[in-house]
Structure 1
Amino acid sequence: MDNNDILIRLRYALDLKNSDVKEIFALGGEKVDAVDVPLILTKTPEPDDEGAEANIPLANDQLERFLNGLITFNRGLKPGNAGPPEVSGEHVNNLVLKKLRIALELTSEDLLDLWKLAGINVSKGELGAFLRKEGHKNYKELGDQLMRNLLKGITLNYRP
């Protein structure tokens, strides 16, 4: 799953407008022009698709800045905070899970319920492994299929 696809699904699930996406990027410390937002929010064209418009690929650090901005957009600035946090460079899916948990103020039970909405059963132990720091002995990478189903659960929950 590429970063643009994650952003496209999040935008739809949370019903964000292009202006909101631009503002969220700005809150995260990433400057994005209004004309670039639709190009970021398009899927990567297939190699044999000659008439398709090229998109702007989203790097991992740009996605992380967007997620940091989403936290600020939903919850407001943290008191005494000078600016957006530094980029961590963690595995993308685990990072998205952690940042969405903060931005949407989700508990572990809420996350398990979102997966259940999408038709997937994830245990508390698995969820704990996904939320651990990279390098911890029980750390586990979140796969693309589980990420897709989490985003599907968020969509079903926020846009029934």
Structure 2
Amino acid sequence: MTNNDFLRRLRYALNLKDNVTVQIFKKGGLTVTKEDVVNYLKKDIDEGFKKLSNTDLMSFLDGLITFKRGEKKEVSPAPKIKITKNNLNNILLRKLRIALAFKSYDMIEVFKLGGVDISEAELNALFRSEDHRNYKECGDKYIRVFLKGLIEYCRD
């Protein structure tokens, strides 16, 4: 799943308008215009398509956390996490969990709405660090299912 596709589906699930999306990017420390957002949301075959980088997507998710939960009172620098192809989906899922203030049972319910039964142990394995022996890589299927369930959860 591409970053643009992820943004498109998340934006739909949370019912975010273009101007709100611009504000969220700004809260994440990235200045984009409404035109940039529109270009991020286009399909890759459309004219004017703009590819969303991993760092820009992380800025959006950090902004979403701030947008949904408010500014942190005590600002300590977040630990730098090296983003690789293997852990990107795990990071996306973790940041969504924080932004939406979901507990384990909320996450399990969203996965169930998306069509996958996941145990709490399996869910916890997705949030572990890569060097942990019980770490499980989050594949594109899990992200798609989670976003599909999130649409059901938020829009119904």
Bin the TM-score by the shorter chain. Answer: over 0.9
Match of 1:88 in 2: 81
User: Hey, which of these two has a bigger chunk of helix by percent?
Assistant: 2
Q: Which runs of 4+ in 1 moved over 2 A?
A: 84-90
Distance 2:3 2:80 in 1: 15
Query: Identity over aligned residues, as a percent?
Result: 45
Instruction: Give 1:29 deviation, angstroms.
Output: 0.7
Normalising by structure 1, we get a TM-score of 0.90
CA contact (8 A) 1:65 1:87 kept: no
Hey, what does 1:14 align to over in structure 2? Answer: 14
Distance, in Å, in 1 between the alignment partners of 2:103 and 2:5 is 25
Counterpart residue number, 1:128: 124
How big is the alpha-carbon RMSD for the aligned residues of Structure 1 and Structure 2? 1.5
- Taking the aligned partners of 1:3 and 1:87, their CA distance within structure 2 comes to 20
Aligned pair in 2 of structure 1 residues 119, 15: CA closer, same or farther (>3 Å)?
same
Aligned residues: 153
| TM-score where L is the length of structure 2 | 0.92
Q: Which amino acid aligns with 1:70?
A: L
What residue number does 1:55 align with? 49
Unaligned regions of 5+ residues in structure 2, if any? none
1:71 and 2:62 correspond: no
The match for 1:142 among 116, 127, 138 is 138
Whole-angstrom CA distance in 2 between matches of 1:40 and 1:87? 25
Query: How far does the alpha carbon of each residue in 1:112-156 deviate from its partner, in whole angstroms, 9 at most, with x for none?
Result: 110111111111111111000122111111010111000011100
Alignment partner of 1:42 is 2:42? yes
Aligned-residue offset at 1:33: 1.6
| Residues 65, 139 of structure 1: alpha-carbon distance in 2 compared, 3 angstrom cutoff | same
Distance in 2 between residues matched to 1:60 and 1:112, nearest whole Å: 26
- Equivalent-residue separation in structure 1 for 2:100 and 2:34 (angstroms): 25
